[in-house]
Amino acid sequence: MFTDLLNRLFHPDPAPLPELDGRHALAGLLVRTAKTDKSYAVEEIRRIDRILAATYDLNPVKAAQLRARAEKLEAQAPEDGRFAAAVRERLDPEHREAVLVAMWRVALSDGVEKDEEQAYLARAGERLGLDADAILRAHKAAEQADPLNR
């Protein structure tokens, strides 16, 4: 009984995450991508806001609000693929590949491509249900869209 009490005090069960809709799942993936290298740069935040605004036809304030809600969800969510699963369930392969392009664009927006970002995005592509060719195409498309990573 005492051990159970100590475990609850020092290892409380996290609150369950709310059901993810498509917008929050995509925004969560973008935020997690930006934070993968342990640096959440202003360029990445701006890129996320622009992607969300363009994807969902939002004004800058609404896009920033969506990102802010996704930041809270991302902070609570374990690295178990639930954001990718929510996206995979809602989109066909072509649109899932476009999501991965957006994720790469966020990763590249700070001008530095790091090994942990490459590994995370390869894993995310697999969790999105994409094959190796689609993952490679997404990376190249992001580089071509942003040749100077801006």
Convert the pLDDT of each residue in 34-63 to its tens digit: 999 999 999 999 999 999 999 999 999 999
Joined together, the tokens standing for residue 81 give: 């693929």
- How many CA atoms lie less than 13 Å away from 129 in the CB half-sphere? 15
What is the predicted pLDDT for the residue at 110? 87
Nearest Cα to 95, choosing from 47, 130, 124?
Answer: 130
**Cα–Cα nearest to 103, from 86, 79, 82, 120:** 120
Superfamily covering domain 21-145? TerB-like (1.10.3680.10)
Distance CA 96, CA 14 (A): 29
Q: Residue 33: pLDDT above 70?
A: yes
Q: How large is the average pLDDT for residues 17-30?
A: 82
For the cut 90, the answer to whether the pLDDT of residue 70 exceeds it is yes
The pLDDT value recorded for residue 113 is 87
Domain ranges of the chain: 21-145
Round the average pLDDT of the chain to a whole number and report it: 86
Q: How confident is the model at residue 13 (pLDDT cuts 50, 70, 90)?
A: very low
pLDDT at res. 6? 45
pLDDT bin (cut points 50, 70, 90) of residue 14 is very low
Q: What is the pLDDT of residues 119-142, one digit of tens each?
A: 999 999 999 999 999 999 999 999
C-alpha–C-alpha distance, residues 97 and 87, integer Å: 11
Q: Which residues, in sequence order, are CB contacts of 80 under 8 Å at separation 6+?
A: none
Average pLDDT, integer, range 61-86: 91
* Alpha carbons 55 and 94: distance in angstroms, whole number: 15
